[in-house]
Amino acid sequence: MDSYERFRRAAVDRDIPADEVEKFIDQLRFEILLGSTEPGEEVVGQSGGLPRLPVGAEWPSSR
C-alpha cells in the first residue's frame, strides 16, 4: 500500500466524502527532491546555514 492509499483509507475512515478525498489527493505530493546546483544556476532553496538577505536588508529582530 502506497502513501496515497494510506491517506485515502484514513480520510474515508474519518467519514470524509470520497469525492473530496480524491480532489485533495490530486494535489498531494509525498516526495521532495533535493539536489545541488552548478555555478551560475539559480538556487531556489537551501537547507541549513543562514539565509541570504537582499542587499541592504537588516536581520529581523524582536527588539
- CA nearest neighbour of 30 among 8, 56, 58, 51: 8
CA dihedral 40, 45, 51, 55 (to 10 degrees): 50
Integer CA distances (angstroms), 15 to 10, 11, 44, 54, 63, in order: 9, 7, 39, 47, 47
1 pLDDT higher than 80 = no
pLDDT for position 18: 92
Query: Residues 17-56: pLDDT tens digits?
Result: 999 999 999 998 877 778 888 899 988 877 788 878 899 9
Q: Is residue 13 classed as helix, strand or coil in its secondary structure?
A: helix
More confident residue, 43 or 58: 58
